[in-house]
A = this chain, B = another copy of it.
Amino acid sequence: MYRQYIDVLKKTTLFTGIKESEMEAMLYCMSPRISRYPRDSVIAIEHDPMEGIHILLKGSVTITKETEDGGRTLLAKYHAGNLFGEMAAFSESKRWPATVEASEDSKVMALPIQNVVGVCSNSCGGHRLLIINMLTILSEKAMRLNRRVEYLSIRTLRGKISRMLLDQYEHKKSPYIRLGMNRSEMADFLGVTRPSLSRELGHMQDEGILEYAGREFKLTDLEAMRMAIRS
- Interface of A with B (CB < 8 Å)? 67-69, 71, 73, 86-92, 97, 117-119, 128, 131-132, 134-136, 138-143, 145-146, 148-149, 152-153, 155, 188, 191, 193, 226-227, 229-231
Q: Contact: B145 with A149, CB < 8 Å? A: yes
Whose C-beta in chain B lies nearest to the C-beta of A163?
A: B68
| Beta-carbon contact of A230 and B69 below 8 Å | yes
Check if B143 sits within 8 Å of A97, measured CB to CB. yes
How long is the Cα–Cα vector from A129 to B91 in the complex, in angstroms?
Answer: 14
User: Can you show 17 pairs from A to B with CB atoms below 8 A apart?
Assistant: A68-B227, A68-B229, A68-B230, A68-B231, A71-B231, A87-B139, A87-B143, A92-B140, A97-B143, A117-B131, A131-B135, A134-B135, A135-B135, A138-B138, A141-B142, A142-B145, A149-B152
A87 engages B146 (CB within 8 Å): yes
The smallest beta-carbon distance between A101 and chain B, in angstroms, is 20
Question: Which residues of B lie under 8 Å from residue A227 when comparing CB positions?
Answer: 68
Smallest Cβ-Cβ distance to A125: which chain B residue: B119
**Residue among A119, A139, A148, A231 facing the most chain B CB atoms (10 A cut-off):** A139
Q: Which residues of B contact A155 (CB under 8 A)?
A: 191, 193
Cross-chain contact of A67 among B92, B131, B230 (Cβ < 8 A): B230
With A71-B231, A142-B142, A153-B191 known as contacts, the answer to whether A117 contacts B135 (CB < 8 A) is yes
CA distance A231 to B90 in the complex (A): 29
Known: A88-B139, A92-B140, A135-B135. 16 other contacts (CB 8 A): A67-B229, A68-B231, A71-B231, A86-B139, A87-B143, A88-B143, A90-B135, A92-B136, A97-B143, A117-B135, A119-B128, A138-B142, A145-B148, A152-B191, A153-B188, A153-B191
Q: Are B69 and A231 in contact (CB under 8 A)?
A: yes
List the B side residues contacting A131 at CB < 8 Å: 117, 131, 135
Cβ–Cβ contact B87 & A142, under 8 A: yes
Give the distance in Å from the alpha carbon of A131 to the alpha carbon of B146 in the complex: 23
Residue of B nearest to A73 (CB): B231
